[in-house]
Amino acid sequence: MLFNSYEFIFVFLPIAVGVYFILGRLSASFSKAWLVLASLGFYAWWKPDFLIVLLFSLFFNYALGRQLVIKRSKPLLILGIVVNLALLGVFKYTDFVLTNINFLNLLPEPLPLTHWILPLAISFFTFQQIAYLVDSYKRVTRESSFLNYALFVTFFPQLIAGPIVHHLEMMPQFAQSWVNRIRWDNIAKGSYIFSIGLAKKVLIADNFARLATVGFDQLPVLSFEDAWVSSLSYTLQLYFDFSGYTDMAIGLAWMFNIKLPFNFNSPYRAVDIQDFWKRWHMTLSRFLRDYLYIPMGGNRSGEGKTYRNLFLTFLLGGIWHGAGWTFVIWGVLHGIATVIHRLWTKVGVRLPNPIAWLITFLFVHIAWVFFRATSVDDALKVFKGMLGQTGMGFSWQLSHVNAFPIDPGLCIVLALAFIWLVPNTNKLAESFRPTWYRLAFQVATFSAVIMSLNEISEFIYFGF
């Protein structure tokens, strides 16, 4: 089920919130059980078969986590990590491996592809549970209740695309005596943030998606203008799509009196690549740092190994995002950029912030081309246009896309100005107070969104 759908907004969400607080008057366990059932129904809406995968993962990791608290066995921890990664790998990377084996033509006959559909959210709930196993092994967290554990993993606001949450960040909140009592200030804040995220997705991201789709997927050749409009449209689509999802997830959690960690902090304002990764998908960056970079040795074993660890972390982060050479290249680019940044900081020379920002933004933008392209050849098509190798002029197909009511180039400028100048949702959430002005803004925004929900589109990170 999608946050930006009629059935979620007008049916699922009111029922989920209402029943949660009604049952909360009877028993905290009843309200938790309801939230788990509602979250499983939310997950199964897309493809019920994959509920089996989620349930297997739940039962396996809960049982193993219990054993790790009791025995603190490193072989058990390794087993848990291997099983989780194997489950993710089988579904996500089998066809990628088979395709490359067939490409090398080493076997008498090509291997048949499985064409398995990737279970929704498997990358996110796998990482979240790996973190839980490690925390259980370290005895940072303990969980004896399967109901609590199931709620920790399946809580629907963050189930599909994060934030990737630690057990200690969320479950103590559900233990508060007032958590299953209606707090109208949290309802107001949550619905306000949710409406902002919904508007980002429907009114901005989805319209930029129409421009990006024409340029990346439909035009065989891109002119200079076509390439820059198409690539910048995707850069902005991805920003507002993921920012919108994050806002909606945090807003929905607030409605249940739960505070999720911020996951997006104006990353296009970053002045270096390290700053970017402190702002973009912040909980994923935290996971990669704490459960990959540091266990590999971090910066504890000399400069050479530090650079190696940085590079491998981003390479594996790229592979996590998708099974394809374009994602590998994207991860490699960010790994190289992070190593260069670390070397640059040792020189001690600081660039003026505007220049540092421009270099960072252009690098991130160029790397996103590989992230979006369906193949390396498609990415090269865009780069040829961006370099002016295929001529000038704005194509008829792009100029007649039914996206925004004004010129696409002006829309890009306005969107970048919005990113740079408007306070982000983190600031709005921290300073939120219910006012008539905010209510009027929310009603107007929500009404505009509802009138625009003609085509329901998935969030980009659903594919990861």
Burial 75-90 (b: 16+ CB within 10 A, else e): ebbeebbebbeebbee
Burial 263-285 (b: 16+ CB within 10 A, else e): bbbbbbbbbbbbbbbebbbbbbb
Q: What angle do CA 317, 374, 383 make, to 5 degrees?
A: 95
Residue 312 zone, left/alpha/beta (φ > 0; ψ -120 to 50; rest) = alpha
Q: In residues, how long is the chain?
A: 464
Give the residue from 53, 49, 77 showing the smallest Cα distance to 65.
Answer: 77
Q: What angle do CA 156, 159, 163 make, to 5 degrees?
A: 115
DSSP result, 133-171: HHHHHTTS-----HHHHHHHHH-HHHHTT-----HHHHH
C-alpha 132/C-alpha 61 separation (Å) is: 8
What burial class does residue 55 get, using C-beta atoms within 10 Å of its C-beta: 0-12 exposed, 13-18 middle, 19+ buried?
middle
The tokens for 142 are 């303990």
Q: Which residues are catalytic?
A: 321
DSSP state of 218: I
